[in-house]
C-alpha cells in the first residue's frame, strides 16, 4: 500500500450567490445486507415553496440501481417519497449509491441524493485478493492459493467458477474451500486488475469475487506500473515522462497509443542520454480533464510483439483556484500507521464467561427480554468497528453457527467504550453451549473478539 507524500485538503472557491433552493432532499439508509443482494430505501423530497417542483431524469452511478417512480411533482409545502432499489454487488463495508437527477427549480437544476448502507460479506476475508506483484513471464510461474472461509454459513463451499480473466488459470480445491490461481505464460503485458467470479453454496450470498492484480513484465517494461501522476491543476503544465525499456536492450517500435478515462495527448521521445532499447513516453493531461481523482489507462501498441500493453495511471486534478493545505508527510505516515494498527488489532473486551456471572457496571440498558443465556461484553475503542456477531456451538470444537443475521451495531464510533447485552432465547434449558463474539470492521473484514466461553442454559 502506498502512502501519499502529503495530505491535500481542497476547498473550492465560492461562485456568485444564488437564491436558496426551496427543494430539500433527505438521503436514505437501506441498512445492513449481504453483498450481491438487492436492498431498498426511500428518499424524501420536501417542497417549502408556493409552486410545484418537478424532479426527473434520475441517473444512477451504478448500472443495477434504479429509482421508482422515475419522476415526480412535489406539491407546494408537501413531501414526496421515491424508492431507491440498489444492488450491493461486490461491496464490503460502507456502501454508497449515488443518484443524479434534474429539478425544474431555476438555479438548482443539477441535484444528487445518496442511498447508504452496510454490505456484509459472507466471507471472513471480506474482499479477498490475489496480488501477484511483478510477474516476469520468462521465469517460472507459480500458483497462488486463496482460502475462502465463512463462519457466517455452515458448510460453506465454492460451487463453480462463473467467469475469470483469460490470462488466469483457476481451479477450485477438492474441498471447495480454496481456489488456486496462476498467471498464464501468454498473459498480456502491463498492469492487470480483474476478478475471478465464483458461485457458492451460501443462500444469503450466492456469489463471491476474488480480485487478481499483477504487473506483468514482458520484453518491454515501463519504469513504474501503476504510475503516479501526483497533483495536477488546471492551467499548469501537467506533463509526465514514463521510461520504457526492453529487457534485451534491443530497439522496439511503439504503434498506436490510446488514453482511457484520461484526457490529454502523448508523444514518444528518445531517452536522455540516448540509449538503445529505451524510449520515453511523454503524457500531457489537458485542462478539460474532469476535476477530482484521476484513475486512467494508457494503452500502448507494440506491433513487433503483437502486444497491447497497459499502463495504469492515477493522480489528483484540481481547479486553478483551488486552495490547498499541505500537512507534513511524516505526520501523515504516522497517522496512517496508527489507523492501520487500530483497524487490525482486536478491541479490548471482557471475558464473556466472567461477564455472564456478574453484572457489568457500565450497562445502561435493561437486559433483553427472556430467560436464555445473557451475554455481556465491553469494548473500549469502537472507532474502526461496525458491529458484532454472536456464534454458538454445542461444544468448544464447534461447529459454531451465527445466531444474529443482523449484527449488533456499535453504540459509539469513538474510543470512549461501550457495553453490550444480548440474550439467546433459542437455547434449550439445561443444555450446555459455547459462545464467542465476532467483530465486523467498517471496511467489512471480520475478526474474532473472544475465545469460546462455556455457558449452561437455565
Mean pLDDT confidence for 229-239: 94
Residue percentage of the chain with pLDDT more than 90: 76
Residues 315-325 have pLDDT tens digits of: 999 998 887 65
Which residues does residue 129 pair with via DSSP β-bridges, in sequence order? Answer: 211
Residues 73-119 have pLDDT tens digits of: 999 999 999 999 999 999 999 999 999 999 999 999 999 999 999 99
Whole-structure pTM over 0.75, yes or no? Answer: yes
CA–centroid distance for 39 within its chain: 18
Class of domain 129-217: mainly beta
The Cα 443–Cα 429 span in angstroms is: 38
Mean pLDDT confidence for 122-141: 93
Task: Give the mean pLDDT of the chain.
Answer: 87
pLDDT on residue 398: 85
Residues 292-330 have pLDDT tens digits of: 999 999 999 999 999 999 999 999 999 988 876 544 433
Q: What kind of fold does domain 352-456 have according to CATH? A: Immunoglobulin-like (2.60.40)
Residue 376: pLDDT band by 50, 70, 90 thresholds?
very high
User: Is residue 14 a contact partner of residue 321, using CB atoms and an 8 Å limit?
Assistant: no
Please count the residues of the chain: 458
Provide Rg for the chain, Cα atoms: 27
Does 354 score more than 60 pLDDT? no
Greater confidence (131 vs 1) lies with: 131
Mean pLDDT confidence for 20-30: 96
Greater confidence (361 vs 299) lies with: 299
Which residues does residue 436 pair with via DSSP β-bridges, in sequence order? Answer: 391
Query: What 8-state DSSP symbol labels residue 346?
Result: P
The Cα 445–Cα 343 span in angstroms is: 10
User: Is residue 116 a contact partner of residue 96, using CB atoms and an 8 Å limit?
Assistant: yes
Residues of the chain with CATH 2.60.40.10: 8-120, 129-217, 221-322
pLDDT on residue 361: 37
User: Is the Cα dihedral 138, 225, 247, 268 positive or negative?
Assistant: positive
Does 445 score more than 60 pLDDT? yes
Does 332 score more than 50 pLDDT? no
Class of domain 8-120: mainly beta
Mean pLDDT confidence for 113-138: 94
Mean pLDDT confidence for 361-367: 59
Report the CATH number of the 221-322 domain: 2.60.40.10
User: Is residue 316 a contact partner of residue 232, using CB atoms and an 8 Å limit?
Assistant: yes
The Cα 161–Cα 305 span in angstroms is: 31
Amino acid at each position: 500500500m502506498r502512502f501519499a507524500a502529503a495530505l491535500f485538503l481542497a476547498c473550492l472557491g465560492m461562485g456568485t450567490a444564488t437564491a436558496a433552493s426551496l427543494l430539500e432532499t433527505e438521503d436514505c439508509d437501506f441498512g445492513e445486507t449481504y453483498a450481491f443482494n438487492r436492498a431498498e430505501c426511500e428518499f424524501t423530497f420536501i417542497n417549502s415553496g408556493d409552486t410545484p417542483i418537478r424532479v426527473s431524469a434520475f441517473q444512477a452511478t451504478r448500472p443495477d440501481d434504479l429509482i421508482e417512480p422515475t419522476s415526480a411533482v412535489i406539491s407546494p409545502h408537501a413531501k414526496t417519497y421515491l424508492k431507491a432499489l440498489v444492488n450491493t454487488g461486490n461491496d464490503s463495508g460502507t456502501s454508497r449509491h449515488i443518484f443524479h437527477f434534474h429539478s425544474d427549480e431555476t438555479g438548482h437544476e443539477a441535484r444528487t441524493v445518496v442511498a447508504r448502507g452496510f454490505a456484509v460479506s459472507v466471507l471472513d476475508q471480506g474482499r479477498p485478493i490475489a496480488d501477484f506483484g511483478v510477474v516476469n513471464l520468462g521465469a517460472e510461474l507459480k500458483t497462488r492459493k486463496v482460502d475462502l472461509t465463512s463462519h457466517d454459513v455452515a458448510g460453506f463451499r465454492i460451487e463453480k467458477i462463473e467467469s475469470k480473466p483469460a490470462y488466469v488459470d483457476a481451479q477450485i480445491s477438492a474441498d471447495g474451500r480454496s481456489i488456486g490461481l496462476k498467471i498464464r505464460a501468454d498473459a498480456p503485458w502491463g498492469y492487470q486488475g480483474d476478478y475471478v467470479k465464483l458461485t457458492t453454496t451460501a443462500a444469503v450470498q450466492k456469489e463471491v469475487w476474488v480480485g487478481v492484480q499483477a504487473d506483468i513484465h514482458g520484453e518491454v517494461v515501463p519504469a513504474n506500473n501503476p504510475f503516479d501522476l501526483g497533483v495536477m491543476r488546471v492551467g499548469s503544465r501537467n506533463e509526465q515522462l514514463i521510461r520504457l525499456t526492453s529487457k534485451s536492450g534491443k530497439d522496439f517500435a511503439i504503434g498506436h497509443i490510446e488514453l482511457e478515462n484520461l484526457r490529454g495527448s502523448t508523444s514518444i521521445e528518445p531517452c536522455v542520454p540516448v540509449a538503445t532499447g529505451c524510449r520515453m513516453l511523454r503524457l500531457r493531461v489537458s485542462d478539460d480533464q474532469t476535476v477530482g481523482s484521476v484513475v486512467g489507462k494508457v494503452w500502448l501498441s507494440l506491433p513487433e510483439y503483437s502486444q497491447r500493453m497497459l499502463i495504469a495511471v492515477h493522480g489528483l486534478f484540481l481547479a486553478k483556484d483551488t486552495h490547498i493545505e499541505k500537512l507534513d508527510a511524516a505526520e501523515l505516515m504516522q497517522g496512517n500507521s496508527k489507523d492501520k494498527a487500530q483497524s487490525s488489532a482486536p478491541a479490548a473486551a471482557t471475558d464473556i464467561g466472567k461477564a455472564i456471572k456478574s453484572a457489568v457496571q457500565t450497562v445502561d440498558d435493561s437486559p433483553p427480554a427472556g430467560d436464555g443465556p445473557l451475554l455481556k461484553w465491553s469494548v473500549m475503542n469502537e472507532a474502526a468497528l461496525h458491529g458484532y456477531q454472536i456464534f454458538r456451538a454445542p461444544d468448544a470444537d464447534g461447529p459454531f453457527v451465527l445466531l444474529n443475521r443482523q449484527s449488533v451495531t456499535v453504540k459509539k464510533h469513538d474510543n470512549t467504550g461501550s457495553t453490550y447485552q444480548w440474550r439467546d432465547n433459542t437455547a434449550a434449558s439445561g443444555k450446555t453451549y459455547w459462545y464467542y463474539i465476532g467483530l465486523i470492521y467498517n471496511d467489512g473484514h471480520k475478526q474474532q473478539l473472544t475465545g469460546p466461553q462455556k455457558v449452561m442454559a437455565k
